[in-house]
Structure 1
Amino acid sequence: MDQSADSTAMIAAVSGALADPGPDDRELLASVVRVARSIFGAAASSVFLFDRERDELVFEAVSGEGEEFLIGTRFPAHRGIAGWVVDTGEPVTVDDLADSTLFAQDLAERTHYVPDSIMAAPVVHRDEILGVIQVLDPHPQCRSSIADLDLLTAFAGQAGLALHGLVRSRAARRALALGGAEFERLAGIIQVLAALPEDRRAGGLRLVDSLHEVLTGMAR
């Protein structure tokens, strides 16, 4: 690993140690799809993560049809309604999927549930499309209202916060794996510091400052 890559990995590891909410993010995603499914009276609701490296969409949270087995299932990133949302960054409602040229029925069949209608919106964090939220077969009164599509977009905003946390956490774990035991020790120290009560944290930081001075002297 060259010096630049080494520094990048260390930054990712430190960042992950300071903010690795992992399980909380997964719970937030699960809550988002549960509430969205209930609000829209849908048969199912799900959040996909856009895996740019593999150019795929991955089920990260599912409520309703398929929730027992779909988590982790991958599909091509640029097919179907979800793929269209990733490509355009626009929300969409499709009332009759049988007549839609965007709908990929073969992909739907792989989930063991073929819907008649879909509402979908991009999951965005700081202008970056992280994935897609969708509801399958929402109640008919929810399919043509702009307000309802705006509401789904609001759910997508909450999902964006959670997906961003998951992506960051996974990047930190990869950095730790690449960096080896030395990064794990560094991350462990940072986690202990972050967990210290406020009245003891200053003392801990003074110890870190002293260690920094010793290491700087060794590097000369």
Structure 2
Amino acid sequence: MARFEPSVVVADESPLLRAGLTALLARGGYQVVGDASDGDRLVQAVTDTMPSLVVTDARLGQVDEGITAALRVHEKAPEMGIVVLGASIATTYAAKVFASTGTGGLGYLRKSRVGATPHFLDAVGRVASGEVVVDPEVIDRMRETARDADVFSTLTMRENEALALLASEFPYRAIATSLFTNRRQYELCLGEIFLKLGLPPNVEHRRPPTPLTHMRS
């Protein structure tokens, strides 16, 4: 019996990065059926091929064009998984990802995560299976910066609990089942957390990363 290979469309404005992602995903057992360099081409590639997964840069050269395009196709095919790669930890970007009303998996990863091949492929695999994935580095740096700005008081008790479990790298299903009645509630909670913390796109240039172990303490 032939082995099933999940199909993927890759989007990045850099041809070199698209080629690298294509090769990496192919080694991980994915069939890259299309690629794109901007939002319109991403929508067209997805419309033409109807993949099971989209892996896209958040910006595609223009603010959040990659996220906007990915969510457009997610609305048309809600079962499709979306992995967004952000060069920054801008929480407004992440909030848009988790505001999606689709049923497919969702992921927001630091673009630098691609270089850590096993971690990247693991995250993509989890999104392909329908999970919600947030890069631990995003949570780490977001919490450290937010601590300095003293904004944790704006979070509800449930949002603080969810953020603490994310920081401890609890699996998506464990968080969703222990704190929420369904996945959609969890996604909405994530969106609210990112919006309340409100970190701008260039925050990583103002503060160096801190270890996850420090955040847990």
TM-score (norm 1): 0.24
Relative to total residues, which structure has the larger strand share, 1 or 2? 1
- Which structure ranks higher in relative contact order (CA pairs < 8 Å, sequence separation ≥ 6)? 1
For the pair shown, which has the larger CA radius of gyration, 1 or 2? 1
Q: Which TM-score applies when normalising by structure 2?
A: 0.24
